Amino acid sequence: MGLFAIGDLHFGFGVHKPMSIFGSHWEGHSEKIIENWKREINNEDTVLLPGDISWAMKEEEAEVDLKIIRDLPGRKFFLEGNHDYWWKSTSKLERKYEGMGFLKNDCRLYENIYICGTRGWLCPNDTHFTPQDKKLYEREQIRLRLSLDSAMRKGAEEILLMMHFPPTNDRQEDSAFMEIIRDYPIKNVVYGHLHGRASHDNGIKGEKDGIHFHLVSADYLDFCPKKIF
């Protein structure tokens, strides 16, 4: 029962938005992800999808993308990204798509590890951070603690954290997210959002303070899910 992760699928089967405008390496990316997924993952595995799942604006537009993901092997846990405008009612999505968990201020269990998560946001001192980002940055701290506290109430001894945004700015400076992460028994953090070589290089990766950070943006992984353990 392996645990895999891949973020930023940016599927657009229902809205026909090609990603090739972001570079030739994105050409046919959806088909690459599907092919690699089927090769690497079986029905006993679990896959984490930390945001930016579909380009759809409405749930009915996202349906074709979600059904394709539903029919791929493995159990799936989703997190909302900054482009997932179609994600409105979490309870409705869970009723509609069997075997797919949609995290929102709560947690899920993988073997003896609790999966928690929130979207996150740009951190202060990031190149692109503006005064307008401050409110979202603070709101996501509350949502992060809600998710983590839900796991702790269930007796969590180990937590894996999913975020869409990285938990630091592009200088990898400390942040409120990092302070929260250190307050809980978190051993692994997976996140996406970053695209392109320069952004990939600026993302926190590897071990820091005993915590392993995994960048799992689809283009960083060459469109193949990464095995976490």
When pLDDT is cut at 50, 70 and 90, the band that residue 100 belongs to is very high
Half-sphere exposure of 95 (CA within 13 A, CB side): 4
The Cα 200–Cα 218 span in angstroms is: 11
What pTM, to 2 d.p., does this model score? 0.95
Q: Check pLDDT > 90 for residue 37.
A: yes
Question: By mean pLDDT, which of 20-24, 138-142, 149-153 is the weakest?
Answer: 20-24
pLDDT digit string (tens) for 168-216? Answer: 999 999 999 999 999 999 999 999 999 999 999 999 999 999 999 999 9
pLDDT at 98: 84
Beta bridge partners of 117: 162
Q: Which of 225, 198, 184 is nearest to 214 (CA)?
A: 225
CB atoms near residue 163 (< 10 Å)? 26
Mean pLDDT of 115-122: 98
Residue range 80-95, pLDDT digits in tens: 999 999 999 999 999 9
Is the model's pLDDT at 161 over the cut of 70? yes
| Domain containing residue 149 | 3-227
- Using alpha carbons only, what angle is made at residue 52 by residues 47 and 54, rounded to the nearest 5 degrees? 95
| Predicted local distance difference test score (pLDDT) of residue 74 | 96
Q: Which whole number is the average pLDDT over 97-109?
A: 93
- If one counts the domains in the chain, the total is 1
The CATH number of the domain where 55 resides is what? 3.60.21.10
Query: How far is the CA of 161 from the CAs of 79, 136, 144, 213, in angstroms?
Result: 11, 19, 9, 10
pLDDT of 20: 66
pLDDT band at residue 16, thresholds of 50, 70 and 90? confident
pLDDT in tens, 44-75: 999 999 999 999 999 999 999 999 999 999 99
Average pLDDT of the chain?
95
- Mean pLDDT calculated for residue range 126-151: 97
Does residue 21 surpass a pLDDT of 70? no
